[in-house]
């Protein structure tokens, strides 16, 4: 078990991490989700032992390892850039952690062949890494991490520089490969969809704070605050300010949305995912909203419709190719049971939207 207690990291006047506490269990997959500069890499560097936290401690199975050098930490790390030893063959690259550990020739060869087969690198073992494609280079780096058989495996946006298809393929394989070894697996990404595909647990990071940590689906469905909800939404979360009076959220346009939960009257921010807007009412409770089409992006299977509503700009994600004209007025529907409600400080209030996600 890896435990971070009240980790702070500051360099100069800049605060990179503030008061982070996390407990990562053996055999779990943990996603660090946050935009660029949110502190994912800083946190990983501290987990690896590459950096010392300004304050706070790190414990592995109850033993304080703060300040212990990375080579004594039993960690493996894969970076966004493809990092391999340029003058060694793929074979020697994969073997390198075991050579450092002075393993015998037979077990090195077994481990390298197994990892190479797993990463589909067997035909390239005699090649130099820089003569391989980006995907093969990164698979070499991943194979090195597998061979090391470390208790903690850190992957810092490992698939970000790969092309789409390869990313899909590796993303499906990675959790399975590392789950077998019973290691603690930490995966940093900027993409909410990647976190959802990987599953496991997710810690959302924003400006050096861990805003929420828990099972990925739970964090996605019921974010504790607006920042987490925004971090975990792609395309961006739709929001609008609403004045709750009685049983209704009154929007600036005068439209009322029924409030499901019993909360005090006042000004709230309500949020919902882009795919929660629809062209047809999802049920009897659905509220109709008159909006104007601002822009249209069509991916083929889905359409992103940028909408202008009184007091807000939204995106609707809707299946199929939708052929609207820009400036056209359309009616969209929103299910009030799917709303996320945040108070003036950004904290989520009320119940978990049961049907969300």
> Interface residues with another protein (CB under 8 A)?
45, 48, 50, 69-71, 75-77, 79-81, 83, 85-88, 96-97, 100-101, 127-128, 130-131, 144, 148
Least separation in angstroms between CB 116 and another protein: 18
Helix (H) or strand (E) holding 243: strand 238-245
**Least distance from another protein to the Cβ atom of residue 335, Å:** 46
Between 46 and 260, name the residue whose CB sits nearer to another protein: 46
Residue 45 or 230 having the CB closest to another protein: 45
Kindly give the residue spans of alpha helices, DSSP state H, lying in the chain.
40-48, 90-100, 105-118, 134-148, 164-179, 192-198, 216-221, 226-231
Residue with tokens 């949305």: 257
In whole angstroms, what is the distance from residue 333 CA to residue 335 CA? 7
Asked if the peptide bond before residue 51 counts as cis, ω within 30 degrees of 0, the response is: no
Q: In terms of DSSP bridges, do strands 340-342 and 266-272 run parallel, antiparallel, or are they unpaired?
A: antiparallel
Cα separation, 346 vs 348, whole angstroms: 6
The CB-of-112 to another protein minimum distance in angstroms stands at 15
CB of 174 to another protein, least distance (A): 18
DSSP annotation of 157 reads S
Q: Of 44 and 260, which has the nearer Cβ to another protein?
A: 44
- Residue 19 CB, shortest distance to another protein, in Å, is 25
Dihedral over Cα of 176, 178, 184, 190: its sign: negative
As measured in angstroms, the least distance from the Cβ of 332 to another protein is: 45
Residue 204 vs residues 15, 55, 130, 195, 227: alpha-carbon distances, Å: 17, 21, 35, 10, 9
Contact 184, 151 (CB under 8 A): yes
Residue 70 or 175 with smaller CB distance to another protein: 70
Closer CB to another protein, residue 14 or residue 323? 14
The residue assigned the tokens 């493996």 is: 76
Q: Nearer Cβ to another protein, position 43 or 317?
A: 43
CB of 78 to another protein, least distance (A): 9
Nearer to another protein, 83 or 312 (CB): 83
In the complex, the smallest distance separating the C-beta of residue 288 from another protein, rounded to whole angstroms, is: 52
Give how far Cα 254 sits from Cα of 196, 238, 335, 350, Å: 36, 18, 17, 23
CA 223 centroid distance within chain: 13
Q: Which is nearer to another protein, 140 or 291 (CB)?
A: 140
């Amino acid at each position: 078990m890896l435990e971070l207690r009240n980790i702070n990291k500051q360099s100069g006047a800049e605060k990179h991490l503030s008061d982070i506490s996390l407990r990562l269990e053996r055999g779990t997959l943990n996603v660090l989700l946050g935009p660029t500069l949110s502190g994912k890499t800083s946190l990983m560097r501290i987990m690896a032992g590459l950096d010392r936290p300004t304050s706070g401690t790190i414990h592995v199975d109850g033993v304080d390892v703060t300040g212990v050098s990375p080579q004594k930490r039993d960690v493996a790390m894969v970076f966004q850039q493809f990092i391999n030893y340029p003058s060694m063959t793929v074979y020697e690259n994969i073997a390198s952690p075991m050579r450092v550990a002075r393993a015998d020739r037979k077990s090195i060869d077994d481990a390298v062949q197994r990892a190479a087969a797993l990463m589909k690198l067997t035909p390239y073992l005699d090649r130099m890494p820089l003569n391989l494609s980006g995907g093969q280079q990164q698979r070499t780096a991943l194979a090195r991490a597998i061979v090391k058989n470390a208790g903690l495996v850190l992957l810092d946006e490992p698939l970000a520089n790969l092309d789409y298809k390869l990313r899909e393929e590796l993303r499906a394989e990675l959790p399975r490969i590392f789950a077998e070894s019973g290691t603690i697996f930490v995966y940093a990404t900027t993409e909410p969809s990647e976190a959802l595909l990987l599953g496991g647990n997710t810690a959302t990071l924003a400006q050096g704070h861990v805003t929420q940590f828990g099972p990925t689906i739970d964090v996605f469905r019921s974010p504790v605050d607006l920042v987490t909800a925004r971090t975990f939404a792609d395309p961006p979360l739709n929001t609008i300010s609403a004045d709750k009076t009685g049983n209704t959220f009154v929007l600036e346009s005068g439209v009322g949305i029924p409030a499901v939960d019993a909360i005090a009257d006042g000004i709230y921010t309500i949020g919902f995912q882009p795919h929660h807007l629809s062209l047809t009412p999802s049920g009897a409770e659905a509220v109709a909203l008159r909006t104007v089409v601002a822009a249209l992006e069509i991916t083929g299977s889905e359409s992103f419709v940028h909408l202008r509503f009184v007091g807000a700009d939204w995106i609707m994600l809707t299946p199929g190719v939708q052929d609207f004209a820009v400036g056209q007025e359309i009616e969209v529907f929103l299910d009030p049971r799917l709303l996320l409600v945040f108070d003036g400080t950004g904290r989520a209030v009320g119940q978990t939207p049961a049907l969300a996600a």
